[in-house]
Amino acid sequence: MCRVFRVSASGYYSWLKRPLSKRAQQEGRLEVEIRAAHKRTRETCGPERLQQDMSAYGVNVGLCRIRRIRKKLGICCKQKRKFKATTNSKHKLPVAGNILKQKFEATAPNKVWVTDITYIPTDEGWLYLAGHKDIFNGEIVGYAMDARMTKDLVNKSLLRAVAAKCPTTGLIHHSDRGSQYCSYEYRELLDHLGMRASMSRKGNCYDNAPMESFWGTLKNELVHHRRYTSRQEAIQEITEYIEIFYNRQRRQERLGYLSPSAYERQFYERQLEA
């Protein structure tokens, strides 16, 4: 080989023993850090959120370098897929007006909640998931899962959210026109809790875009990459995703690259300082 490349044997072995340059060593360390951050964030982050995550762990590196190394390592985010809605609005139950009107803003926690139902495929059949999301910080404040899509499912999700957050009266509660949300029992529960019911226009998914967005995130980052052999297996993984990753670890650009729980904590800390 030395004859082919026209180098001396001593020169070749000297090159082999030569230590890596500082830049090469740094590059190697960054590759390890980027791989670790990619796994830590469940392979869901682009360069911007990856940079913020690494910074939180004391690793400061420019975006251009992150992009280059990601490309070199073949790292990319999980791909998005479309999903179907589950709403059944073909009923004659009373429907609330659309108070929210796509104004997805809140100045404090527990002022506006949105809710919806989706489904998860398992080998045992569908698992239905109801969730309540706080518009202020995007936190999933309540959720429930069951083999059947009933009014009890949405009741459990709402009561779980109330137990966790203890909202004051006047909270705007926005949903679609599904029969579960229009049922007498659910409307009575909202009245008892002092919540103002708001509902999307018929067939307009954009009126509940924040909740649809969460379903997309959950499925793109978790569900579409798994095959669940049982409903219980799906329940366990989805609970872990919501409680540990989404609410407490997953950084959101609109929150200044903070997680929902960190953003809420920052809000209350600033309230105390004011």
Task: Give pLDDT tens digits for 91-139.
Answer: 568 898 999 999 999 999 999 999 999 999 999 999 999 999 999 999 9
120 and 255 assigned to the same domain: yes
Q: Which residues contact 210 (CB under 8 A, 6 or more apart)?
A: 104, 114, 133, 135, 138
**pLDDT score, position 83:** 45
Its pTM stands at: 0.75
**pLDDT score, position 51:** 84
Answer with the one of 73, 104, 135 that is the final residue of a domain: 73
Q: Are strands 196-199 and 172-175 parallel, antiparallel or unpaired?
A: parallel
Round the CA-based radius of gyration of the chain to a whole number and report it. 24
Q: Is the pLDDT of residue 2 over 60?
A: no
Distance CA 45, CA 205 (A): 26
Q: Is the pLDDT of residue 78 over 80?
A: no
Answer with the one of 45, 73, 101 that is the final residue of a domain: 73
42 and 170 assigned to the same domain: no
pLDDT tens for 198-251 read 999 887 888 999 999 999 999 999 999 899 999 999 999 999 999 999 999 999
Rounded average pLDDT over 6-19: 62
125 and 14 assigned to the same domain: no
pLDDT tens for 175-203 read 999 999 999 999 999 999 999 999 998 87
Query: Helix (H, G, I), strand (E, B), or coil: what is residue 77?
Result: coil
